A and B are shown apart, each in its own frame.
Chain A
Amino acid sequence: MFPAPIQEAPAAKRYAYYALVAIALIFWLLPLMAVLLTSIRSLTELNEGNYWGMPKEWKFSNYIEVFQQTPMLRYMLNTVIITLPAVAGAITLATLAGFGLAKYKFRGNLLMFCMFVGGNFVPFQILMVPVRNMAVRMGLYDTFWALILFHLAFQTGFCTLFMRNFISTLPDALMESARVEGANEFQIFWSIILPLMRPALAALAVLIFTFIWNDYFWALVMVQSDAVKPVTTGLSALRGEWVASWQLISAGSIIAALPPVAMFFLLQRQFIAGLTLGAVK
């Protein structure tokens, strides 16, 4: 193990280590703590200039006020409406495509794979004007579908890369023996490959849920009315309206961040497995 295990070090060094980790952590989370502290302060206290002293009252009601005074709830709901179908769709398409690319050799296989991988890395700006025009022409501009369809299509690239790499690691012998038993290709996929993929599906779902939840650029380009705006552009609009109300903006930021953060802490192992795929090899 590197570095040498700290438990074997002398006590003084061990305590120095704990202190170092604690200081690093506080330093690391400092900007966030500022927001957390502000989110429970009252406006009067902020107006008095008491920003960083002990709060006179803990005002958790800021979190309720955000929902009462702003369309935050609507924004959150919109994000859910956009995110869930896009995640489900992208994963479905990519699982099929990944299976094909991993287990069948055909001409253009590698080329197709490169298309998915390369496309996944392009700057959004090169897609922006045509994708936006397409949405306008199809009458989808400023609707949920504009965002759902785009995210679905774009994330299919990353998901296919992920699925193909995962399915490649499953032994071919499994499929061979099923074929000998007389199973057709669909049965093989459905009853042999799919059950083995559960961990990968979970990892991928958590990961792209976060990506789509946090999208800002496309929300900015494709929708504008409050009825469809997701929480990212919503929050940014609120900031324009509530310039001086940092306590509300802080509370709003925390609320917007909560679902992905909660998802991460609950499904940490899957999340990290998905993210580090390929980092060891």
Chain B
Amino acid sequence: MAPAVIVFAIYVVIPIFQSFWLSLFDWDGLSPTKKFIGISNYTALFQDEQFWTSIKNNIYWLILFLFGPVIGLAIAILLNQKVRAMRIVKSLFFFPFVLSGVVIGLVFSWFYEPSHGLLNTILGIFGLPQIAPLSDEHLVTFSIIAAGLWPQIAYCMILYLTGLTAVDPEQIEAARIDGARGLRMLWHVIIPQLRPATFIAVVVTVIGALRSFDLVQVMTDGGPFGSSSILAYFMFQQSITNFRMGYGAAIAVVLFLIMSVFIAFFLRHMIRNERG
């Protein structure tokens, strides 16, 4: 067991503390000396407009990503039938999940491409106005979130499909006899029984939303004019592109603290389960 603990400590646990420490320094990542500046990185951060844009976008991601579990459940219910070829249909719905962020980013960049992309071609067929999803600062974040939802919905769908197989058939029959159908049945009988699936779906969705980086980097590089930046990307940009490692660490600390709330919530739930 020791080796696992050691490598995990070296690469994960200790770096967290090092980042906290580093966020108190001014450092370009190259020079041998770091200058201690206390909380200056944080005061600068809170006055940085780009920081607030990123936070705002992170909140959009968090809220809109919750459509993942909702749409995932809807598709799971649609597909929870034992008819021919259903297995392959389920796989086709699921497999965007195994695509890398780069591939998804490229697929959607092409889909959104303003002059020849399929989206505008379809809009054109219906006589709708053309849009430039990735260069319009009011649309860009939502367009990237839509791309991010694609694999996330797939993930939630599979969690719910598994959950649906475990729903107690006797309760469904009993509810049917009592006259419950459709949405009422879903709301009062099915969803309560899907709680474990919902819990995991929400946790992975929230964490996925806060972790997203690939799509922003691939699709827009945070642009236009920083309007689609999120904390994860902002941090990368400041440390790698602008050589402000201490400042970057401070951004990472903020992101980490936001995420800790959700991690703590998850751990608490897990420990409770452990203790039965």
Enumerate chain A interface residues (CB-CB to B < 8 A): 1-3, 5-7, 17, 20-21, 24-25, 28-32, 34-35, 38, 46, 49, 51-52, 93-94, 96-97, 99-101, 110, 112, 114-119, 121-131, 133-134, 149-150, 152-154, 156-157, 160, 210, 213-217, 220-221, 232-233, 235-236, 239, 246, 249-250, 253, 256-257, 260-261, 263-265, 268, 271-272, 275-276, 278-281
Contact = CB atoms under 8 A, between A and B. Distances in A.
B139 to A, nearest CB: 16
A128 B252 contact: yes
A242 B127 CA distance: 32
B185 A2 contact: yes
Main secondary structure of the interface of B (DSSP, over half): helix
Interface stretch (B6-14, B38-46, B59-67): B6-14
B11 A221 contact: no
Main secondary structure of the interface of A (DSSP, over half): helix
B80 A2 contact: yes
Interface of B: 1, 3-5, 7-8, 10-16, 18-19, 22, 29, 75, 77-83, 89, 91-96, 98-103, 106-108, 110-111, 113, 116-118, 121, 150, 155, 158-159, 162-167, 169, 172, 185-186, 189-190, 196-197, 200-201, 207, 210-211, 213-214, 217-218, 231-232, 235-236, 239-240, 245, 248-249, 251-253, 255-256, 259, 262-263, 266-267, 270-271, 273-274
Contacts of A131: 11, 15
Given A156-B4, A216-B217, A235 B211 contact: no
26 contacts: A20-B78, A32-B107, A35-B107, A35-B111, A51-B116, A97-B5, A110-B271, A116-B4, A121-B259, A125-B231, A128-B248, A129-B19, A130-B15, A130-B19, A153-B10, A153-B11, A156-B7, A216-B214, A216-B218, A236-B217, A250-B106, A256-B100, A257-B100, A264-B94, A265-B95, A276-B162
